[in-house]
Structure 1
Amino acid sequence: MIVTDELARRACAERGLPPPPDVLPIHGLTIPEPDVANLGSIIAAALTHSPAARALLTDLEHEQDIPEAAVRDYYDRNRDRFLTPEALRRGVDPYDEPAPTDIHPYRHVRHGIERELRRAAAHRAFFNWLDVARADVEYAEGYEHPGDPTHQDHEHHH
């Protein structure tokens, strides 16, 4: 987490982002709990405790371009997510030609879909950035992460 924070501070400086405030560590998550499983515990912890990592993620999110076709495709492939409450109560099968009134109209959910896809793209961009940024990091002996496959004893446990 310390390495991720330092790398994020450097990336923020390179991008001309204002320096993040030096604050005491936050107790509790500052990211939505469902995201923890998608992000992984190390990145979730880094985002919780590093204002620089959060600023970088936000900047990466603003850079993501989500084509209209991708938004529409997501809507068409995930009809179950857009059933109306009434349709859910009746047990409507979203894949068995539901009535048009059983599915929220595209124009009502489009913005939310785009936001979700942009956020997912930003997470992928953050993962890619972190992989590249830490490629040349050398840890002092004994401070390697136990799950780091570049470490000769990466299967040991703490």
Structure 2
Amino acid sequence: MREEYAASVRGRPIPKQHVETFLSTSLPRGAGNCATSHDAAAHARRHRQQRRWATQVVITDELARQACAERDLPPPDDVLPMQLLTIPETDVADLGSIVAAALAHSPAARALLADLEREQKIPDTAVRDYYDRNLDRFLTPDALRRGADPYAEPSDIQPYEHVRDGIAQQLRHAAARRAFFDWLDAARADVVYAEGHEHPGDPSQPDHEHRH
């Protein structure tokens, strides 16, 4: 791999400059978790992890573009946006900072996730099971105000027919996110990285970080 490339994605080189540009403008709080320190060694380790993190976001965008093309989805309107975007803390907690950042910055990643969501088929039995196991989430507004026990009075619970579609949508959304993770794990298996741009969780690296 030539020195100016950060990685090769299915034979397509990713210039290091793309990673550095993204890193300089789009690093969210908490990315590349490392201990805060003023010494040079700690600063260098932190920058390496941030660079590896940014490489993953850029690679995820490229992989998603290729997946969209394979699925005959409309191509994204523009290249990977390089402006600073706010990433919800809940998304970082649920998805990890790499996937959360990729979905925030990459139109292709969002298009792929939406397509995966359309593919999810949630059985009625799964929807009903979710409802029965989570009655406390379906209290009526009045019951919520009263702090009612969801298992004491059936009239305090919204009828299943009223909430069925919403539950099904939530379950499709969760299933699509799992499918996205599975796709990404498989898609980046053949990515070739330049030194210093490896995955931040790569256990072969002495300063690998699992919480990325």
The TM-score normalised by the length of structure 2 is: 0.67
| Root mean square deviation of aligned Cα | 1.9
Cα deviation, 1:19-65, whole Å, max 9, x if unaligned, reads: 111153353347x6533321111100000111000000000000000
* 1:100-111 equivalences in 2 (<5 Å): 100-111=154-165
Structure 2 counterpart of 1:131: 185
Note if contact 1:82-1:104 (Cα within 8 Å) is conserved in structure 2. yes
The Cα shift of 1:88 comes to 1.6
19-28 or 105-114: which moved more? Answer: 19-28
Aligned counterpart in structure 1 of residue 145 of structure 2, from 89, 92, 108 = 89
- Separation in 2, partners of 1:29, 1:70: 34
Note if contact 1:71-1:113 (Cα within 8 Å) is conserved in structure 2. yes
The Cα shift of 1:105 comes to 0.6
Pair 1:55-2:108 in alignment: no
Note if contact 1:146-1:153 (Cα within 8 Å) is conserved in structure 2. no
The Cα shift of 1:101 comes to 1.7
Q: Evaluate the alpha carbon distance shift between residue 14 and residue 154 of structure 1 in structure 2; reply closer, same or farther with a 3 A threshold.
A: farther
Q: Which amino acid aligns with 2:202?
A: D
Pair 1:19-2:75 in alignment: yes
The 3-state SS of whatever aligns with 1:134 is: helix
Pair 1:28-2:122 in alignment: no
- Separation in 2, partners of 1:114, 1:124: 15
Q: Which amino acid aligns with 2:109?
A: A
Pair 1:144-2:198 in alignment: yes
* 1:38-77 equivalences in 2 (<5 Å): 38-77=94-133
- Separation in 1, partners of 2:94, 2:187: 20
Runs of 5+ consecutive residues of structure 2 not aligned to the other structure: 1-56
Question: Alignment length, in residue pairs?
Answer: 153
Aligned counterpart in structure 1 of residue 206 of structure 2, from 133, 153, 158 = 153
- Identical pairs, percent: 70
- Separation in 2, partners of 1:6, 1:104: 44
Greater RCO, 1 or 2 (C-alpha within 8 Å, sep 6+): 2
Note if contact 1:26-1:48 (Cα within 8 Å) is conserved in structure 2. no
The TM-score normalised by the length of structure 1 is: 0.88
Q: Evaluate the alpha carbon distance shift between residue 78 and residue 26 of structure 1 in structure 2; reply closer, same or farther with a 3 A threshold.
A: farther
Runs of 5+ consecutive residues of structure 1 not aligned to the other structure: none
The Cα shift of 1:144 comes to 1.3
Structure 2 counterpart of 1:7: 63
| More strand by percentage | 2
Cα deviation, 1:56-92, whole Å, max 9, x if unaligned, reads: 0000000000000000000000011001121122221
Q: Which amino acid aligns with 1:140?
A: A
- Separation in 2, partners of 1:140, 1:17: 30
Q: Which amino acid aligns with 2:137?
A: R
